[in-house]
Chains A and B, each alone.
Chain A
Amino acid sequence: MKIIGNKITTNMSLFAFLGFLIIVFSFTSEHFLGYYNIISLLTNISYSGIAAIVLTLVMISRGLDISIGGVIGLTTVVVATLYSQPDPFPVWLILIIGLSTGTLVGLLNGWCIAVMDMDPIITTLGAMAITRGLAYVISDAQSILMFEETTDFISNGTIFYIPMPIILFLITALIFSIILHKSKFGRTIYAIGANEASAKLSGISVKPVKIILYVLSGLAASVSGIILIGQTSVGMPQHGLGTELEVITAVLLGGTALSGGKGTIYGTIAGVLILGVLFNGLTISGVRYVHLQIFQGILLLVAVATYEIKTRNEVAS
């Protein structure tokens, strides 16, 4: 946390803004603070939040992963297709294969970016096209129904009345918070993002770290995909469309800079919550789903502009 100096203040203002939003929406809609809405809100956040948490690490290392949405779609299709076979594999195996999908895509991304020195944006853009395309090919553009206990539990079950997705999100947040802020590995991530040349000369193995981060990102996207199957009971190639935009927006909102070396899990959680509350609050107040994009775009621009101006003021002083 100390790396980012007064990021603590930024996080505080983020949570203040969150509080502000909550207050506003509690007035615009009577249902907003209701039990069911809160649960629904948090569950929806968890779906993309898991990917956002891991993307934070990628972006701190000065990378970017735009293929998240494509991986989600591909994972849902792979899992649903395998399950709908005449004599399907056992569920645990299917789920492992599903998780491997994202892992493999992440490996491809990591290799291209770290070893072949290809531009992260274009590489993951290409990966997005490939995964999305493969999803369409495998499913033949059809939706594939899937009703299954385990996935149903992952997405809709509860432990002590808390929905599973939220638990998964909290676990992910906890694990990666420890990894990023307290572990040796986390330190190397910040080092690589803040000054790669220095990190390399100090003996840090940059390539393996980057590859691992992209693999984790792909894996997280697959997890999100599996949650989505249970929530929608269907695997289809359109799943995840637009999720990458949501996730990147949340991470940027949370104070992670595209230039690397800065960012916190807390900030990302705040960003995810803000976006989630914003969307939920607007929806429940009657704003149509398709209009949410306007707010998303404005929020992104305002947030990044604010950070930019703030950084510039810091440098000047």
Chain B
Amino acid sequence: MTSTLLKMSHICKSYPGVNAVDDVSIDLYAGEVLGLMGENGAGKSTLIKMLAGAEKIDSGEIYIDEKKVDINSPKASQDNGVSVIHQELITMDTLSVAENIFVGQLPVKKATKLIDWKAARKKSAEALALLHSEINPKSIVSSLSIYEKQIVEVAKAIHKNAKVVVMDEPTAALSEKDSKALFTVIKSLKKQGVGIIYISHRIEEVFQISDRITVMRDGKFIGTKPTKGTDQKEIISMMIGRELNQFFPEIKSEKKGVMMKVSDLNINGIIENISFEVKKGEILGLFGLVGSGCLNIARALIGADDIDQGEFHINGKKTSIKNPKNALKNKIGFIPIDRKNEGLTLDFSVKQNLTLQCIDQLGSGFIIQKSIENSIAEKWVKKLDIKTPNIEVKVKNLSGGNQQKIVLGKTLETNPEILVIVEPTRGIDVGTKMDIYKMLENLCKNGVAIVLVSTDVPEILSISNRVLVISNGKIRKEFKKGEANQQELLHEASLN
């Protein structure tokens, strides 16, 4: 029997009110690629954070090379041979490649104690060569492409003699060519006996590169299957575990007519030739994996990012959406992906957040009329059933679900005719999810055109009237309601 390289045994971690990781056990062998899959909120990130020493384990053990290890800090994790390559790269951009690889451990000449740059460059080149890379160790990292930066991170891991390398959505920002190159690199690592945990939503890729696949759902370990012995359908059902249409309201619209038309939206190098229409009372889903360009499209729709080309027609009239204020004037509302940093002002109270987008309406003159402010706030607390002691508490003290409701209330106060929502129910409890879906249903009845960006497959398939699959910055395919199943959706989204 082969010994395990890494064993995480009965790991538990909970935060107030939620079991993030619930008795999860996984194992990893040397020289294998283990795909770790699960929806957002399944607990993958939390599990990896504990492995990386960034979060404390509530209970459970970690074994490396069959020996129990105590990982209580990032340094301890690294000292035990674990290296995590995050989605958001943490390179030192102002320094050279060699310095990034050797950070904190630059080789010194014995005699003078001065840095042996020659040795550093040579060893860097060796590590890079193992990765089939010709990056010059002298180059400053800020001048490298995203792929090259990732290679630098991998080289750093190799140099530290990492036994376990975790890659979190590594191909999210890569082109097809670079992704293929990365796979070659991963195969090299395998040959050297490194064990790799590969986290990705791109089911196609996971099936290409992994030897086994572990699935998590709702914080629990669902199962591990050898890649060759399973198929996408099985993995997806393990991931999602519920039937479509079980929880979702039937969204029907009565109004007709095109609310907004997007033509030839282009951001150089990011999105290309995006054209679509949204009708009144319709929910148009935009589905794409991390790095597909969906978020860029959403941000362009509300004027948060500059576009290089493209036209918008709202209600038949050509409109330019230059900035969020402009968008609001054109009755476009936005629920951003990051409610804590973009949707809310955490230090503001419930009432101040709810009125953040309609400050101008809080009275006819110069002064904010408290009575109007209070009534608007209370209206939405009631309408959306926001659970809060009162409207004066700071929103940072509320739960995620209630925070999301506040973002919703804030946006709805401006009576948008078009609503762009991104990941509306991420990290939110089931009860609140229902409330949000009911709200969307009401909006549709009243003729609001909704653009829904979501990576929650059942959600987007059930609620949307149509789904556009976005990949590599382009629209790949359009599905009408009922035309696609989960597997087809994920399949299309992973293609280049």
> What does DSSP make chain A's interface, helix, strand, loop or mixed?
helix
Interchain nearest-CB distance for A7 vs B (Å): 11
With A3-B352, A184-B363, A205-B325 given, is the CB distance from A198 to B341 under 8 Å?
yes
Q: Are A178 and B367 in contact (CB under 8 A)?
A: yes
C-alpha spacing A185/B362, complex, angstroms: 11
Q: Are A184 and B345 in contact (CB under 8 A)?
A: no
By a CB distance below 8 angstroms, the chain B residues around A3 are 347-349, 352
CB-based nearest A residue for B392: A2
CB-based nearest A residue for B355: A187
Interchain nearest-CB distance for A309 vs B (Å): 18
C-alpha spacing A199/B392, complex, angstroms: 19
Q: Are B356 and A197 in contact (CB under 8 A)?
A: no
With A5-B394, A184-B359, A187-B359 given, is the CB distance from A198 to B344 under 8 Å?
yes
Q: Are A183 and B392 in contact (CB under 8 A)?
A: no
By a CB distance below 8 angstroms, the chain A residues around B362 are 184
C-alpha spacing A185/B367, complex, angstroms: 8
Q: Which of A5, A202, A262 sits near B324, CB closer than 8 Å?
A: A202
- Indicate whether A190 reaches chain B with its CB closer than 8 angstroms: yes
By a CB distance below 8 angstroms, the chain A residues around B336 are 201
Interface string of B35-46 (1 = CB under 8 A from A): 000000000000
Interchain nearest-CB distance for B396 vs A (Å): 10
Q: Are A201 and B345 in contact (CB under 8 A)?
A: no
Interface string of A168-212 (1 = CB under 8 A from B): 000000000010001111011011001101111111110000000
Q: Are A191 and B334 in contact (CB under 8 A)?
A: no
Most chain A beta-carbon contacts within 10 A, residue among B324, B336, B349: B324
Residues 322-368 (chain B) with a chain A CB within 8 angstroms: 323-325, 327-328, 334, 336, 341-349, 352, 356-357, 359-360, 362-363, 366-368
Q: Are A203 and B345 in contact (CB under 8 A)?
A: no
Q: Are A191 and B356 in contact (CB under 8 A)?
A: yes
Q: Are B368 and A202 in contact (CB under 8 A)?
A: no
C-alpha spacing A44/B328, complex, angstroms: 47
Interchain nearest-CB distance for A182 vs B (Å): 5
- Indicate whether A240 reaches chain B with its CB closer than 8 angstroms: no
- Indicate whether A255 reaches chain B with its CB closer than 8 angstroms: no
Q: Which of A194, A201, A203, A261 sits near B342, CB closer than 8 Å?
A: A201
Q: Which of B323, B327, B343 sits near A198, CB closer than 8 Å?
A: B343
Q: Which of A183, A194, A197, A201 sits near B348, CB closer than 8 Å?
A: A194
Interface string of B262-280 (1 = CB under 8 A from A): 0000000000000000000
Q: Which of B346, B347, B357, B394 sits near A202, CB closer than 8 Å?
A: B357
Interface string of A146-181 (1 = CB under 8 A from B): 000000000000000000000000000000001000
Q: Which of B324, B343, B366, B394 sits near A184, CB closer than 8 Å?
A: B366
C-alpha spacing A108/B190, complex, angstroms: 59
By a CB distance below 8 angstroms, the chain B residues around A262 are 347
Q: Are A195 and B341 in contact (CB under 8 A)?
A: yes
- Indicate whether B158 reaches chain A with its CB closer than 8 angstroms: no
C-alpha spacing A103/B334, complex, angstroms: 37
Interchain nearest-CB distance for A73 vs B (Å): 34
Interface string of A1-15 (1 = CB under 8 A from B): 011010000000000
Q: Are A2 and B349 in contact (CB under 8 A)?
A: yes
CB-based nearest B residue for A207: B323
By a CB distance below 8 angstroms, the chain B residues around A200 are 304, 323-324
- Indicate whether B201 reaches chain A with its CB closer than 8 angstroms: no
By a CB distance below 8 angstroms, the chain B residues around A183 are 366-368
By a CB distance below 8 angstroms, the chain B residues around A2 are 349, 352, 392
Interchain nearest-CB distance for A211 vs B (Å): 15
Q: Are A188 and B304 in contact (CB under 8 A)?
A: no
Interface string of B217-245 (1 = CB under 8 A from A): 00000000000000000000000000000
Interchain nearest-CB distance for B75 vs A (Å): 23
By a CB distance below 8 angstroms, the chain A residues around B343 are 198, 201
CB-based nearest B residue for A198: B345
With A3-B347, A202-B357 given, is the CB distance from A187 to B368 under 8 Å?
yes
Q: Are B410 and A202 in contact (CB under 8 A)?
A: yes
C-alpha spacing A200/B302, complex, angstroms: 11
By a CB distance below 8 angstroms, the chain A residues around B352 are 2-3, 187
By a CB distance below 8 angstroms, the chain B residues around A188 are 359
With A194-B345, A194-B348 given, is the CB distance from A203 to B392 under 8 Å?
no
With A183-B367, A201-B324, A203-B328 given, is the CB distance from A195 to B346 under 8 Å?
yes
By a CB distance below 8 angstroms, the chain B residues around A194 are 345-348
C-alpha spacing A158/B356, complex, angstroms: 43
Residues 24-58 (chain B) with a chain A CB within 8 angstroms: none
Q: Are A261 and B367 in contact (CB under 8 A)?
A: no
C-alpha spacing A216/B348, complex, angstroms: 25
Interface string of B255-266 (1 = CB under 8 A from A): 000000000000
By a CB distance below 8 angstroms, the chain B residues around A187 are 352, 359, 368
Q: Are B341 and A197 in contact (CB under 8 A)?
A: yes
Can you list 13 pairs linking A and B with CB atoms under 8 Å apart?
Answer: A2-B352, A3-B352, A183-B368, A184-B367, A187-B368, A194-B347, A199-B356, A200-B323, A201-B334, A202-B324, A203-B325, A203-B327, A205-B323
Closest 4 CB pairs of A and B: A203-B328, A203-B325, A195-B345, A202-B357
Taking Cβ atoms with an 8 Å cutoff, the residues of A that contact B are 2-3, 5, 178, 182-185, 187-188, 190-191, 194-195, 197-205, 261-262
Beyond known contacts A199-B345, A201-B334: 15 more, CB 8 A cutoff: A3-B348, A5-B394, A182-B368, A184-B362, A190-B348, A191-B345, A191-B348, A194-B348, A195-B341, A200-B323, A201-B336, A201-B343, A202-B324, A202-B328, A202-B357
